[in-house]
Structure 1
Amino acid sequence: MRSHMDVKPYECEDGGYKCSKMSNLIKHIGIHSADKIYKCKECGLTYLDKSELITHAKACSTEKPLGSEEHCYKFVPSTLNKYEIRNPTGEVPYESEECGHKFAQRSDLNTHLRTHTGEKPFECKECGHKFAQRSDLNTHLRTHTGEKPFECKECGHKFAQRSDLNTHLRTHTGEKPFECKECGHKFAQRSVLKQHIRAHTGEKPFECKECGHKFARKYALKLHMRTHTGEKPFECEECGHRFSIKSVFNIHMRTHTGEKPFECKECGHKFARKDNFKLHMRTHGREAV
């Protein structure tokens, strides 16, 4: 049986954070709204509007114990209105007849059912692409408008999706929250961890329909497909030579620029290609890092 702590009915729609108590959700949302400035000294709730704080403060000390669900329900700031509080009782009464998966809200069940029916009711008027969820359509529309509303305060880089911003922020913090249980290696992105785990399991889920060759990474399959299609999307503007792989194209460009980025620290010799650099290092009795 699941414990009460396993049930996490409160969800932040901006970051995907889930928790078992509304008080924890309120604290978390402060991450997205760093400009809140009016704070209750009794319980720590923060407000953008001073009048809201005054109304809250008058009754705060006479209400339910601080941090209790009853207290939080009554004094949730209006800035939280856009966050959907998902079934605070923890009940999941809506069940999919197809797979048995259960949901706290009927709307979540309806969205899930589209994974079985294949229904995609939300269509992009620009290109005709269809989506099962409105939120996915809204995200897609930014590929047409170029809108990037999520900005990194460290470097000013902008992103179309908050999840992409959150991933990017780890390049500044160095955070690597996704750990491989097999070898302890840590990663900044869950998708990269999944790819890494295939090195342990040997799983190769991406199969070429032309020849049956299988790959652990989707990108590797994409590159392989060019051997069948003959596609060479990377063209050298200097000589017109075309390449199917960008890394090979980059190496070729060095024949024009003269760039040699791989330098031997033993003798100062420089190389345009890493493989030649590695061969050279063996003459010194060392392996290239």
Structure 2
Amino acid sequence: MSYDPVILNSDIYSYDYFQQDDVCRLCWSRNAYKNIIEISSDNDYKVMKTDVVEKIMECLDIDLSHHVHPNKACDECFNQINKFHYFKKFCQETDKKLREILNEKNKTVPRIEIIKHDDDEIKNNSIDDLFDDNHSYEQCENEIKSKTKIKRWKYKPKRTPTYCNMCKTDFENVDQFKSHNLQYHGIECDGSYKCFGCEKKFKNRKARFSHESHFCKGLKDGYKCSICNRYIPKRGMFEAHMRDHRENVPIQLPEELFKCQKCDKLFRTMENLKVHMESEHDVDKKIYVCESCGRVFNRKDYLNKHKLTHTGEKQHQCPHCWFRTGQRSSLTVHIRKHTGERPYRCSLCPQRCVSSSNLRAHQARHLGVKVHECPLCNKKFGYKVSLQEHMSTHAPAQTHACRHCGAGYAHSRGLRRHIAAKHAEKNKTDS
């Protein structure tokens, strides 16, 4: 058998394999017939000091006292042990004979050199000096340790700070590395992780993956490749797929990628997998019903937020004004009106919005979409608030009156416009 370390990782070597009687203790081959371990007569599984055991323990420094199996060796290993043991004894005899010859001729013993790593001068001490009567062995050892500087091994990273572990690519500078992370891995400059299906950001990769797998509506069908329009179920597969596109590697994706965890069937799309789960495995979705209005939700936290609309409870208050709301997301959008933050930008014009819903309504105006229709005159509007203002014209209620001239308006916005246009000087004087 060849002594190749690669064989140690083979799957055939298991506990049951070594319980067989013909397995070699040293090379693991299946042609061993000579015993190297003899059990004592008391059956207490103690290794007896035989000639072969002593050779193995002396030459190879292997402890044979722990395991009963395997307890045999093949002929090739026996021959190697005998050769190795003979060579060791021969070298010991030659060294002994050499020392005797040198001592007879009164040859000087070579000096031991103590090399210090702090670039001091090298001092030579003979064996007689080290073991002088005035110095004990412990004192000499302490002196050597104090004069010798231990050289410690330091880890040197092989990869540069601009190396991408996922794409196995090293970039020329930090700017290229950050641009690559943002475009292909969703890692922002501030270290946050952006979802591939929406605008949400997360502190770590694990939180983002959980959102993408269970909550993101934009990824309900999987990760879509913008080049071949295929949907891929897993994030790692998607990034590897996009990397192959960038490197122009021939890509062969199987037609069916979405796997059922219960019966291991494969499907082409996530929708087909969901139909299969509902029809074949009778998946019962948890539903949460509102006791007040009967509205159904698939998550309990959605139901709890909805219940606040019935109770009127508003536990979130703006730190800048009197505004209160029942949802934290509404408070976040409201605070942006104080800070001036508008993180959502239109791709068609310079307009920026405080929320994603406002951005969608704004972009609908570019397309000419008006979904809010007046039930009385069939006039359509792009914003819901515009429809509400229009409805007041059918049955105007002058609830907002000007304190300067008494003009009445249905909405506060109309009153502000009137004061700015007609009573700007008086307003400045009053203030």
| TM-score of the superposed pair, with normalisation by structure 1 | 0.46
**Structure possessing the higher radius of gyration over alpha carbons:** 2
* Higher-RCO chain (CA-CA 8 Å, sequence separation at least 6): 1
